[in-house]
Each structure stands twice: as structure tokens, then as C-alpha cells.
Amino acid sequence: MSNLRISGLHKSFDGHTVLHGVDLSVERGTLLALLGPSGSGKTTLLRVLCGFEHADSGTIEIDGRRVAGDNLHLPSELRRIGYVPQEGALFPHLSVADNIVFGLPRGQRRAQHRVAELLELVGLAPDYANRAPQQLSGGQQQRVALARALAPSPTLVMLDEPFSSLDAALRLETRQAVADALAAAGATAVLVTHDQSEALSLGHEVAVLWNGKLIQTATPETLYRRPVSRELASFVGEAVLLPGIASSDIARCALGELKLSAPVADGPIDVMVRPEQIHVLHAYDPARDGVPTFDAVVREVTFNGQDASVVLQLLDDDAVIVNANSNANGNAAPLNGTAIRARVPGYRSPQPGEHVRLAVDGEVTGYARA
């Protein structure tokens, strides 16, 4: 497989700029997840890479060979790119085997070249070769679509939100099978998705496209722990943003003094904490030596089974809770503190109105305020 280099790529439609000078590198054998919200330009970038659209300016190189740029536009069929569309797009009148070899030269089609090998690669038994696509589940159809994309031994594989039409359980199973097949083939691949968990779990690297601009490319762990902006922090998972003050490598906010994961200029900042970093301690939990805790009351609980999302209100020193969530006159007690969202294991889910303590684990990210 090959590497991919994109430099200064621009694309507009009817005077509206969709891609703003995109620069991107994908190393050989890497699965890059291209992540972004709807309308960010992901599909346009994929179509330009595949040669379905002409770039206005910029260059594209695949394995050192320029395929676009300087008045050059190599046709799609000459770029040696394997393409897996959203719905698989298998031909219903052809068998699985005939679908897999569809893009190969006539002699290889007749010999059903590599069909058994490719079926094994994507985790399907050899007897699937003679089945019709409509006899397969959605996940099996996507595996066949990947086998078809890999059949010509492409230099690059592009996957356009291939799991979006599958139900949750089938999506997890299929995307793992696809990832395993790409790894076994040593493929260089670009997965286009708007699903954050999909990008973080599958991508060796994640590139985030935002309003047509590539704003961060990083490992999944770095992207999640140190997103470059507040907006990206809230897009890639849940984020708790609190006003604070930065001093050296410490952020002071409503949750105490927290260590910053990266330097930020001293002064007013917004402090980003992930909900799972916030530990909810019940009254029966032992004190944690040297770890500051903060009183809070549970306002809402959304139980998801394996975990729960909890909305809490930090209590001011003078706040009083009577009978969990009412005052001495039977009215709701005033809660003047900051609202916090935490994520806890399902078996430790608190009850609305419960008085708890909060503690923060790990480093946080700070964003300077203008």
C-alpha cells in the first residue's frame, strides 16, 4: 500500500468555498479517520481524492505519484483507489463472487480471482461466494463491498461512512471486522465518518475537518484529551467547561486546583474536564487522603445501563439541603453553585436529590479567553 499527501487543496461550488487549503498526510499502512460534523466538507474531500470531482487548486500525491494539481486531473480509474460507499452498492443481479471480481480484467473475472482469499480476509466463509447480495445481512454486504474494493490491490482504500446504515450491535461487529481486514491487508485507508466513537476506536490517527478547514490531526488519545478548541472539545465527546484562572501549570476553578495537560498563558481561561474524570463519592465512600472534594447535590440522572450521566449542582458554603432537595418550608432549596455533568458506572448511579462529594482525577485542558 502507499502513502497519501494533500497540499493546499481548495474546492468551491457556485462561488461557495467548501475546502479551504487542506493539508493532510497519511502514512503507509495507516487507517486515518476523517471526522467532522455534517456540512464540514468530508464528502467533498473524499470525492476530490477519488477523482470524482476536480480540485480548484492544490496537489494530491499517492505513493509519490501526483494525481491532481497544476492542471492535472488523473481519472478515477487510473488512481488505483478502492472505494466502499455508504450502502455497499452491491449489484443485486450478481453473486457475491461476481460482485467481488466486478472491477477486475475479464480473465480474472472468469477465474474468480482471489475470491476465497478475500472472503476469508473479511471474515466470511467460502460458501458465501454463490449467494445473492439480498441473502446477506447489512453487515455482511459491507464486508463484501470491502472485499470488492481490495480485489484490484489498490494503493489506497476510501470508506465513506460505511457503517451508518447498520444498527448499533451490527455496527460494532462489522467495523471491527473491517478494521481487522484492512490491517491484515496492510492497507492505507481513509475512513470518512461523523461518529466520534467510531473515529476514536478505529483510527490510528484522526483528522478533524471543520467548516472546510483541517483543524487538528492527532492520535485518538491526544485528540480526546487535548482538543485544540472549545468547540472541538464538545464535538469529540462530552465536555464540562468551567471559568478559571491559569497560573503556571495549574488551573483554579470551581473544582479546585487542577493540573493543566499543556501550557496556557496565565490569566482567565476556560477549563475543560471530561465527565468521566469527575468522581461522584457517596456518603458511605471513605475519604481520599490528600484529594480535595466538593459538596454537590444530584439534580438529574440518565441511566444507560453500563453507565449513567449525572447532572450535579455544586453547593456554596452557605447552601443548606433539607431532606435531600427541599428546604424547611417544603420548597426546593436554593442551589447557587455551578452545574456539573459527570459520568459514572451504572452500578454506582446516585439518586436525584442525593447529597454527594465530587473529586477530579487526571489533567485538564485550558483555553485562553480573549
pLDDT in tens, 8-26: 999 999 999 999 999 999 9
Cα angle 216, 269, 276 (rounded to 5 degrees) comes to 65
Rounded to an integer, the average pLDDT of 247-271 is 95
Which of the two residues, 97 and 324, has the higher pLDDT score?
A: 97
Which of the two residues, 5 and 319, has the higher pLDDT score?
A: 5
Asked if residues 196 and 236 have their Cβ atoms less than 8 Å apart, the reply is: yes
Query: Among 173-177, 257-261, 285-289, 320-324, which is the least confidently predicted range?
Result: 320-324
pLDDT at 325: 36
pLDDT at 334: 41
Residue with the three cell numbers 470531482: 53
Q: Are strands 365-368 and 189-193 parallel, antiparallel or unpaired?
A: unpaired
At residue 2 the predicted structure's pLDDT band, cuts being 50, 70 and 90, is low
For CATH 2.40.50.140, the residue range(s) in the chain are 239-370
In sequence order, what DSSP letters do the residues of 176-220 get, joined into one string? HHHHHHHHHHT--EEEEES-HHHHHHH-SEEEEEETTEEEEEE-H
Indicate whether 361 pLDDT > 50.
Answer: yes
Cα 163 to chain center, whole Å? Answer: 13
pLDDT at 173: 85
> In 3D, which of 248, 247, 229, 249 has the Cα closest to residue 239?
229
For CATH 3.40.50.300, the residue range(s) in the chain are 4-225
Cα angle 23, 34, 367 (rounded to 5 degrees) comes to 75
Indicate whether 44 pLDDT > 50.
Answer: yes
Rounded to an integer, the average pLDDT of 20-49 is 94
Q: Which residues contact 65 (CB under 8 A, 6 or more apart)?
A: none
Indicate whether 337 pLDDT > 70.
Answer: no
pLDDT at 279: 95
Query: Among 41-55, 149-163, 224-238, which is the least confidently predicted range?
Result: 149-163
Indicate whether 331 pLDDT > 90.
Answer: no
239-370 classified as CATH 2.40.50.140: yes
Rounded to an integer, the average pLDDT of 332-341 is 62
Indicate whether 326 pLDDT > 50.
Answer: no
Indicate whether 322 pLDDT > 60.
Answer: no
Which of the two residues, 183 and 333, has the higher pLDDT score?
A: 183
- CATH assignment of 4-225, among 3.40.228.10, 1.10.10.60, 3.40.50.300, 3.30.300.30: 3.40.50.300
Q: pTM for this structure?
A: 0.86
pLDDT at 370: 76
pLDDT at 177: 87
Rounded to an integer, the average pLDDT of 35-47 is 93
pLDDT at 111: 77
Query: Among 84-88, 213-217, 355-359, which is the least confidently predicted range?
Result: 84-88
Rounded to an integer, the average pLDDT of 69-98 is 90
Q: CA 58, CA 41: separation in Å to the nearest integer? A: 16
Per-residue burial over 209-242, b if 16 or more Cβ lie within 10 Å, else e, is: bbebebbbbbebeebbbbbbeeebbebbbebbeb
Rounded to an integer, the average pLDDT of 102-130 is 88
